[in-house]
A = this chain, B = another copy of it.
Amino acid sequence: MKKFDHGQEHRDDGMVLIQTNLDDMNPEYCPYITDRLLEKGANDVYWIPILMKKGRPGLMLNVLTDGLLLSEIETVIFEETTTLGLRYMPVSCSRLGRNFEKVSTPWGAITVKTGYKAGKLVHFAPEHEDCAKAAREHGIPIKQVYEYVRAIYISQKSL
């Protein structure tokens, strides 16, 4: 699958960071809006607690998206949030090559996501969903699953 070929370390100059400050929105909507934006194709969505004028605690919505989706993402933000305006700026992204590998554990196979820079492994991380599932099903602490998967991965790779 082309997308996860670890040769794919790359730079992308056509990204846009959209921001809007919300001081009058029910914060209960936030996770729903995050999901809606990710489904529309946003690369990342996050919220920052801020202090706005008139002493109001607010939330800044941040959406990182491919510039080609800008108009579509803007429409979702205007429809779903209470904003009257948003701002955006062009950004470049640097991404590691990525790969997914499987590690065998007593609780079944667990995926490890890896990151490569110039062909060299610089990061690996057990996939959360797999670990959470194993922890739940086998009644063991989630941190223990992570630790174990990491230790196996390291020994397999002789890191």
Contacts and interface: CB of A to CB of B under 8 A. Distances in A.
A89 B86 contact: no
Interface string A109-144: 000010101000011010010001001000001111
Q: How large is the interface on A (under 10, 10 to 19, 20 to 34, 35 or more residues)?
A: 35 or more
A31 B46 contact: no
A122 B30 contact: no
Contacts of A147: 150, 154, 159
B91 A87 contact: yes
Copies of this protein in the complex? 6
Contacts of A92: 87-89
Contacts of A32: 128, 132, 135, 142
Given A48-B49, A85-B95, A87-B94, 12 more contacts: A15-B87, A25-B27, A27-B57, A29-B142, A44-B52, A46-B60, A51-B57, A78-B117, A80-B143, A84-B115, A89-B89, A147-B154
Which 8 pairs of residues, A with B, have the shortest CB-CB distance? Answer: A55-B55, A49-B49, A85-B95, A151-B151, A47-B51, A31-B55, A151-B154, A24-B28
